[in-house]
Amino acid sequence: KNEVEQSPQNLTAQEGEFITINCSYSVGISALHWLQQHPGGGIVSLFMLSSGKKKHGRLIATINIQEKHSSLHITASHPRDSAVYICAGNTGNQFYFGTGTSLTVIP
Amino acid sequence: DGGITQSPKYLFRKEGQNVTLSCEQNLNHDAMYWYRQDPGQGLRLIYYSQIVNDFQKGDIAEGYSVSREKKESFPLTVTSAQKNPTAFYLCASSIVTRENQPQHFGDGTRLSIL
């Protein structure tokens, strides 16, 4: 069993839909990261959070420390949001990565 | 602009051959990492380095070697001992502080066997 589990594995949405990707972790972590991997393979860090909620544009990330659960929300989704979204937890230099959620937004 | 540069983007290896993947960063980060990504799996740590001339094995170091002679550079050699080298390789870097820091990633190198 992976230390970090994501759901769903694959997600297809119509443009404009509200999207939620979930992440659960079973190890103690000091921070939770959401990453975006584009089709070419490069990865961009979207959020790093230890508690509460963060918002950047149409993206919102939340974390519930007690339940060891985080969610990434995308409002008013757009085809350019199509990518793989990866959840990761870290404690010091040790990172635990989920297997990713592949999102496709259809025009 | 600051960032991480990985080269080449695509690399082919013959049986029994060693190949070296390049990773350079101009972010002045102390820590650098090499990850391997396989379909359906999360990123797995191969090696990491927190300071020049020092590096530590990750979860899947067998068949790989690294060096850290300069702060900016952390090349990865895939040796002939790595029997299943076909994968996507990602290099990352981060600041080393007491607080949590995000990792910055390169665009990756895709290695295939001929």
A-facing residues of B in 28-87 (CB < 8 A) are: 31, 40-45, 48, 50
Write the secondary structure of chain A as one string of H (helix), E (strand) and C (coil): CCCEEEECCEEEEECCCCEEEEEEECCCCCEEEEEEECCCCCEEEEEEECCEEEEECCEEEEEECCCCEEEEEECCCCHHHCEEEEEEEEECCEEEECCCEEEEEEC
CA B71 – CA B48 distance, rounded (Å): 13
Question: What is the percent of chain A where pLDDT is above 70?
Answer: 99
Question: Nearest CB to A43: which of B40, B42, B90?
Answer: B90
Residue B1 has pLDDT above 70, yes or no: no
Question: What is the percent of chain A where pLDDT is above 90?
Answer: 87
Closest CA to B25 of B54, B49, B56, B59: B49
> What tens digit of pLDDT does each residue of B53-96 get?
999 999 999 999 999 999 999 999 999 888 899 999 999 999 88
B-facing residues of A in 56-85 (CB < 8 A) are: none
> What tens digit of pLDDT does each residue of A40-77 get?
889 999 999 999 999 999 999 999 999 999 999 999 99
Residue A1 has pLDDT above 70, yes or no: no
